[in-house]
Amino acid sequence: MFTVSGQTIKYDRPWTHPDTGEQYPANWLRLTSAAEKQAVGLVEVTIPAAEVYDQRFYWSASNPKQLNDEAAVDKDGNELGFTQTGLKTLWKAKQDETAASLLAPSDWRVIKAKETSTNIPSAWKTYRAAIRTACNTRQGEIDACSDVAALKELLYGAAQVEQDGEMVANPNLATAWPDPID
């Protein structure tokens, strides 16, 4: 973007010079050199990049969402009779949803075993128990987070981090879900 005599000039839009009245086509900025732009008085304006933040965890780059559940209050501090749900509660519920989706494909095995009075293969029992254990562990890890940044790192941090000049497995990541059975 450019300015001339207080007027903003944008790429791909026709414009009229505010001092001379000369008209320029929409492609003029793209086709001219820096010297030609300067010759008519254009000054380039750098637009700062928008702040980048993870909307799952932050309202803005410097404004984290509420971590813990809190009683809702009005401007006078009176409780409103409901609780504002925090990120921990939301992300723990997501762990339940993930566990349910991992268990669902093998639910028929449990039903079949009940209906036919047979046993579920031990590999499937072990797998299903591992899913439940991982879910409970992950929820405990979420509860242990002291701030929003720690919660985000737990759930979406890089797999490896640099430690003493070497790349090592990130110790701050949530417990992994078990690998599926073939």
Domain membership of residue 132 (yes or no) is yes
Q: Indicate if 39 and 93 belong to the same structural domain.
A: no
Q: Indicate if 108 and 37 belong to the same structural domain.
A: no
Burial letters 34-52, b for 16+ CB under 10 A, else e: eeebeebebeeeeeeeeee
Domain membership of residue 113 (yes or no) is yes
Domain membership of residue 51 (yes or no) is no
Of 40, 38, 36, 15, nearest to 26 by C-alpha is 15
Residue range(s) defining the domain that contains residue 124: 88-169
* pLDDT(100) > 80: yes
**pLDDT at residue 85, rounded to an integer:** 94
Q: Specify the number of domains making up the chain.
A: 2
* pLDDT(50) > 80: no
Domain membership of residue 177 (yes or no) is no
Per the DSSP assignment, residues forming a β-bridge with 9 are: 2
Of 156, 147, 149, 148, nearest to 174 by C-alpha is 156
Report the chain's mean pLDDT, rounded to a whole number: 93
3-state secondary structure of 44: strand
* pLDDT(52) > 90: no
Domain membership of residue 147 (yes or no) is yes
Indicate the pTM of the whole model.
Answer: 0.69
Domain membership of residue 126 (yes or no) is yes
Q: Indicate if 40 and 92 belong to the same structural domain.
A: no
Domain membership of residue 105 (yes or no) is yes
Query: What does the pLDDT average to over 109-123?
Result: 95
* pLDDT(51) > 90: no
- d(Cα 181, Cα 122) in Å, to the nearest integer? 12
pLDDT tens-place string over residues 139-159: 999 999 999 999 999 999 999
Domain membership of residue 53 (yes or no) is no
Q: Indicate if 38 and 95 belong to the same structural domain.
A: no
Q: Indicate if 37 and 100 belong to the same structural domain.
A: no
